[in-house]
């Protein structure tokens, strides 16, 4: 695999590190790469969750779910579901608008839109095209699909365009309407998910700002652990696939849990090692909000104190590509991040995909 082009005059630190342990799902032998890209800063953040609150008691009344089981197994008390007229693009538009306002950036000044989702409004055109039109952006826009790791993938892509000097303002959005693809008959997976979107605006920064280290990885040998079987070219939608529930998300929760704890810990150690940082140097650890047990297990292995680990899944559940940017916006909007702080965030999920970033604010 050839090395990426790097304009070192603009991006002074882009390196590769393969000194990490292999990741294996039993079939593939993956050696993830860890790199650096500085000279990028976050100019603003924004997020949006729908108004409809669905509590565990609501699920008990409507579907017979056990609220105590949900809290004990996931840490989730409630989640937000999109209203009937809302789609993923509507959530992303709200988050992006708030982000641009926070950054005091005109839509006309945005050079590129990168949008992460695995629940697009439709197969095509891309959700980014719909957002671009509604926001009146004068720039290209495109979707990427890496499920719950999608926002981190999009962030890395957007940072490349800033780092090379080809863009001055890149809007990165992550959002999903999970309520449209989860099975109400699945008591183990249905309570986990909610809807929401988050956004960041990237721009040129100092040589110290940006990704001190990042790692993106994929292990397709685990692709059947979290999937939506029907609706694509392999199994086109039919009355029969709908009757069989193949248009719903399916998940091997036990296998995903074990993998997620391991990959979150391993990738975090890799980026910290690459950057020459320690857990004590990190002001905020913002992991994907999938399950509180995953977050606590990985945090304990890594040695992060609980007050440095941000969690909001008790209010929103797993919002997939919206998870990390919503959490990042809440931390940033509270004034809890200062210039020079190291913030570590990680997304992981279907694919299997993962992305972990150590960002110097």
Query: How many CB atoms neighbour CB 261 within 10 A?
Result: 21
Q: How far is Cα 347 from Cα 215, in angstroms, rounded to an integer?
A: 11
Q: 247, 274, 288, 332: which one is catalytic?
A: 288
* CA distance linking residue 306 with residue 301, whole number of Å: 12
Q: Is 119 in a helix, a strand, or coil? A: coil
Catalytic residue among 99, 148, 167, 177: 148
- Using CB atoms within 10 Å of the CB of residue 265, give its burial: 0 to 12 exposed, 13 to 18 middle, 19+ buried: middle
Active-site choice (318, 332, 353, 360): 318
Q: Where are the beta strands (DSSP E) in the chain?
A: 16-17, 33-38, 40-48, 52-55, 78-81, 112-116, 141-144, 170-177, 195-204, 210-218, 226-227, 250-251, 282-287, 342-349, 353-360
Question: Has 274 been annotated as catalytic?
Answer: no
Nearest to 213 by CA among 301, 348, 343: 343
Instruction: Single out the residue of 177, 10, 174 nearest to residue 92, CA to CA.
Output: 174
Has 288 been annotated as catalytic? yes
Distance CA 175, CA 233 (A): 24
Residues taking part in catalysis: 148, 288, 318
């Amino acid at each position: 695999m050839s090395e990426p082009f790097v304009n070192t005059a603009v991006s002074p630190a882009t390196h590769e590190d393969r000194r990490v342990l292999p990741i294996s799902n039993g079939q593939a032998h993956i050696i993830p790469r860890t790199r650096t890209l500085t000279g990028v800063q976050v100019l603003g953040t924004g997020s949006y969750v729908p108004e409809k609150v669905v509590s565990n008691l609501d699920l008990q009344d409507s579907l017979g779910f056990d609220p105590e089981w949900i809290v004990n197994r996931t840490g989730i008390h409630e989640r937000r579901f999109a209203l009937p007229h809302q789609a993923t693009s509507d959530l992303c538009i709200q988050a992006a608008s708030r982000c641009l306002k926070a950054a005091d950036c005109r839509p006309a000044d945005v050079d590129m839109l990168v949008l992460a989702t695995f629940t697009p409004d439709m197969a095509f055109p891309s959700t980014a095209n719909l957002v671009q039109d509604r926001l009146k952006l004068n720039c290209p826009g495109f979707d990427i699909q890496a499920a719950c790791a999608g926002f981190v993938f999009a962030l890395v892509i957007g940072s490349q365009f800033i780092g090379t000097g080809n863009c001055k303002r890149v809007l990165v959005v992550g959002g999903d309407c999970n309520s449209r693809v989860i099975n109400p008959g699945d008591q183990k997976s249905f309570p986990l998910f909610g809807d929401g979107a988050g956004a960041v605006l990237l721009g040129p920064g100092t040589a110290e700002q940006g990704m001190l280290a990042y790692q993106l990885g994929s292990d397709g040998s685990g692709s059947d652990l979290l999937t939506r079987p029907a609706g694509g070219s392999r199994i086109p939608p039919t009355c029969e696939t709908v009757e069989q529930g193949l248009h719903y998300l399916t998940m091997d929760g036990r296998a995903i849990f074990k993998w997620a704890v391991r990959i979150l810990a391993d990738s975090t150690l890799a980026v910290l090692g690459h950057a020459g940082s320690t857990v004590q140097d990190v002001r905020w650890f913002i992991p994907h909000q999938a399950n509180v047990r995953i977050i606590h297990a990985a945090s304990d292995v890594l040695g992060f104190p609980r007050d440095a680990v941000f969690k909001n899944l008790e209010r929103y559940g797993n919002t997939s590509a919206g998870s990390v940017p919503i959490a990042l916006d809440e931390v940033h909007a509270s004034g809890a991040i200062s210039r020079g702080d190291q913030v570590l965030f990680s997304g992981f999920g279907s694919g299997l995909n993962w992305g972990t970033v150590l960002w110097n604010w």
